[in-house]
Amino acid sequence: MASYSLQWFIDSKDEGKTIKQFLSEQYISRRQLTDIKFAGGRILVNGREENVLYHLRSGDSLDIIFPPEKSSETLIGEEIALDIRYEDSDILVIEKPPFMNTIPSREHPNGSLANAIIGYYQKKSIEATVHIVTRLDRNTSGLVLVAKHRYMHHLLSQMQQKRQIKRTYEALVSGVMGNRSGTIDAPIGRKDTSIIEREVRADGQSARTNFEVLKQYKDYCHLKVWLDTGRTHQIRVHMSYIGHPLLGDELYGGDISKYDRQALHCSQLEFCHPISKQQFIFHSKFPFD
């Protein structure tokens, strides 16, 4: 099994710190350190194994070898073509088509993006499981960010919590928008009568959705949408709440006469790679359907 590793060369500002202290500053959690110690990882200083209480010296070479990634025993790899927009040793950026689950569900146990990724890993002999960072609903298309190992997933999840991963959507909504731009600030929670459907409700989680009109047509509108929070079905719920449901969104009252899925697409993904520090902006055109 392949292992992911990181290396640092210690300079004077970090001299005297313990390995544990230094690694915590690199966002390696206590749980990850436990995994490294007991699940097959290693900590090396100048090529020699050391424990986390070792005091670092200027000029030391510190190598962290993470435990081998284990493929999921329950997730079956499938040979499904992937539209990979970017790949390196840490991440994948994939364009997900509509009508594909991000992960398997009881109703759709096969054919998901996760199944396709496992199949891709198997074909490329990449020992890893699936770490999807930015999920999309089954019928929502667009850009998805995937981590290729646990440490990267941890870093990207922290960035998500700090709103450092920016996603922009395009949507078609019914009606004529009264304002060219605006913010919908309304809490969202699960509907009492459904395990799937959400609604705006006073006891829900805070949710903020921003929108800008790209083009107004006679009876529908093309919007750019971006989020300050990431609640389940947030865009769909908020647009329905203000009386402009997404076209094709049957669950939330959208017009389904011309569309067989909600007209929602993740068109832009922007983030700074937490290891290489490279700034990325990916764009995806509104799909033909």
Question: CB-side exposure of 86: number of CA atoms within 13 Å?
Answer: 18
Tokens of 270: 């922007």
pLDDT in tens, the chain (289 residues): 456 888 899 999 999 999 999 998 888 878 888 888 888 889 999 999 998 999 999 999 999 988 887 777 778 999 999 999 999 989 999 999 999 999 988 888 899 999 999 999 999 988 888 999 999 999 999 999 999 988 899 899 989 989 999 999 999 999 999 999 999 999 999 999 998 999 999 999 999 999 999 999 999 999 999 999 989 999 999 999 999 999 999 999 999 999 999 999 999 999 999 989 999 999 999 887 8
**Tens digits of per-residue pLDDT, 43-55?**
999 999 998 999 9
Note the pLDDT tens digit of each residue in 160-189. Answer: 989 999 999 999 999 999 999 999 999 999
Alpha carbons 251 and 272: distance in angstroms, whole number: 35
Dihedral sign for Cα 257, 220, 286, 232, please: negative
3-state helix, strand, coil in the chain (%, to 5): 20, 30, 50
State the Cα–Cα distance between residues 252 and 262, nearest whole angstrom. 9
Place of tokens 């969202």: 188
DSSP readout, 211-265?
EEEEEE-SSEEEEEEEESS--TTHHHHHHHHTT-PBTT-GGGT---SS-SS--EE
Q: What is the pTM of this model?
A: 0.86
| CA 203 to mean position of chain CA atoms | 26
* 139 vs 27: CA distance, rounded Å: 34
- Taking residue 277's Cβ as centre, other Cβ atoms within 10 Å add up to 7
Residues 14, 35, 88, 137: which is the catalytic one? 137
* Contacting residues for 68 by C-beta, under 8 A, at least 6 apart: 1, 2, 3, 40, 127
In this prediction, residue 29 carries a pLDDT of 79
What is the rounded distance in angstroms from the CA atom of residue 225 to the CA atom of residue 136?
A: 14
Beta-bridged to residue 49, according to DSSP, are 44
- What confidence score (pLDDT) does residue 2 get? 54
Q: Is residue 137 flagged as an active site residue? A: yes
Residues 6+ apart with CB under 8 A from 194: none
CA atoms within 13 A on the CB side of 99: 6
Which helix or strand (DSSP H or E) is residue 122 part of?
helix 113-123
* Residue 217 CA to its chain's centroid (Å): 32
